[in-house]
Amino acid sequence: MKITPADRISKVEEYYFSVKLKQIEQMRQEGKDVINLGIGSPDLMPDDEVIETLQKSAENPNHHGYQSYVGIPQLREAFSSFYKNSYGVDVNSANEVLPLIGSKEGIMHISMAFVNPGDEVLVPNPGYPTYSSVSKLVQANIVEYDLTEENGWLPDLEELEKRDLSKVKLMWVNYPNMPTGTPSNRQLMEELVAFGKKHSIIIVNDNPYSFILNPSPSSILEIEGAKDIVIELNSLSKSHNMAGWRMGMVISNPEFINYILRVKSNMDSGMFKPMQEAAVKALTLESDWFEKVNSEYRARREVVFELLDLLNCSYDRNQVGLFAWAKIPSKYERGVELSDIILEKANVFITPGFIFGSNGEKYIRISLCAKEDVYRESINRIKNIENL
C-alpha cells in the first residue's frame, strides 16, 4: 500500500534552516564545535517584569484553560495603545487587531483568507522565504518583484505597473526589510498604499524589526486611508526578546480582520493566558527598554562588521534590523560558496543569501543574536582559513 501526500506538498521543500540545523547537529555529534551565526533568534532575555508577570499569572488555577480566539481584551487594548504610542496610529481594540501565535502564523491565515487557487501574489526577491512557501501551499501563482542594491532594495512600482496585475490579490512587503536591512520611508509607504488602492491589491506589510537598531520606528498604517487596503503584521519576537513565546498581531480594518479570524478560529484554541498577560506588560515598557537592547546589538554589529571586513565583503553601515547583509567579494560566484567554506573549515555557519531569492545569490547574512565573544571567536577561526 502506498500513500501519497497532497499535491501542494510537492511544491514546497523543508525549510532551509530546518535542514541546516540538522547538519549542524550532526557536526556537533561528531565532536565539532559549530558556531551558528545564521538564525535570528534573540538570545537576550525579556524584561524581568515580563517574566514575573508570567510566573504570577501561571500560579492562578483559573488561567490554564482554553482562551478566546481573539485574545483577552487587555492584550488587544495593549496592542492598540502600543500602536498609538509608538507610531501615532489609532487602532480599535475591539475589531481592528487580532492577536496571533506569532506573526508567521498570520502569513498563512492571511493567505488562506484572501487567496484562491490561481490568484497571483507579489513576492519580493530577495524576501522572507515563508511568503513564497505559503503562497505555494494555497496554490497561488507567485509573481516575484525585484529588490536590488542598485535600487536601494526598494520595489520599482512603475516597473510593476507595466505588468498585467489583474489577477494579483496580495503584495507582500517587509520594511524595515529582512534580509537587506533597508529601513522604511514615508514616501515608499504612501506609494504602496496608492498602488494597492489603484489596482485593488491588498498590501501586507510585515513589520517585526521596526525597533531594532532603527532610529525611526514607523508603520505603514500611519498613511491616511491605509487601513482600507493594508494589513500589517507585527510581533514581540524581536522587539521584546520573546521569539519563543509566539506573540504576534495583525492589524487592519474590521472586515479584513473578520476574514482572518474565520481562518484562525478553525486552527487554534487561543493562547496561554499567562503569556498574554505577560505580553501586556511587555507592551507597556518605556523607550529605555529598547535603548538598552539596541545598545547591545549596536556593539555586536560593530564586531560583525569586523568579521565582514575580514571576508572582504561590502555592506551598508546604515542598515537596520537584527542582521547584517553583505555582498561577497567578486572571487566567489555565489554566497553559498563562501558560506560552505567557512562552515567546513572554521565550523562557523553564516546564512547564504540565495535562500531569500535569486537576487540574494551574491550576498550573505549574519545574525546579531550571539554574544560579542562568539563573534570574536568566529573571527579568530576564520583568520586561520588559508586562501579565503
Q: pTM of the prediction?
A: 0.93
Round to whole Å and give the CA distance between 207 and 216.
13
Round to whole Å and give the CA distance between 98 and 268.
13
**Exposure string over 182-218, b if 16+ CB within 10 A, otherwise e:** bbbeeebbebbbebbeeeebbbbbbbbbbbbbbeebb
- Output the nine-digit C-alpha cell for 208: 517585526
CA distances from 314 to 6, 63, 181, 378 (A): 43, 51, 14, 18
pLDDT tens for each residue of 267-323: 988 899 999 999 999 999 999 999 999 999 999 999 999 999 999 999 999 999 999
Local structure of residue 164 (DSSP, 8 states): -
- Output the nine-digit C-alpha cell for 204: 501586507
Q: What is the mean pLDDT of the chain?
A: 94
Please say whether the beta carbons of 51 and 45 come within 8 A.
yes
Q: H or E segment at 375? A: helix 372-383
Round to whole Å and give the CA distance between 48 and 282.
10
CA distances from 155 to 140, 149, 192, 250, 365 (A): 21, 11, 9, 23, 20
Position 112 scores a pLDDT of 97
Please say whether the beta carbons of 331 and 361 come within 8 A.
no
Q: Of 371, 366, 375, 374, which Cα lies nearest the Cα of 180?
A: 366
3-state helix, strand, coil in the chain (%, to 5): 45, 15, 40
Please say whether the beta carbons of 234 and 249 come within 8 A.
yes
Domains and CATH numbers, the chain: 7-45+288-383 (3.90.1150.10), 65-282 (3.40.640.10)
Position 19 scores a pLDDT of 79
pLDDT tens for each residue of 203-247: 999 999 999 999 999 999 999 999 999 999 999 999 999 999 999
Round to whole Å and give the CA distance between 32 and 338.
19
For residue 178, count other CB atoms closer than 10 A to its CB. Answer: 25
Mean per-residue pLDDT for 99-116?
95
Round to whole Å and give the CA distance between 361 and 225.
37
pLDDT tens for each residue of 19-73: 778 888 888 999 999 999 988 889 999 999 999 999 999 999 999 999 999 999 9
Predicted confidence (pLDDT) at residue 6 exceeds the cutoff of 90:
no
Query: Which residues are registered as beta bridge partners of 235?
Result: 248
Round to whole Å and give the CA distance between 236 and 289.
13
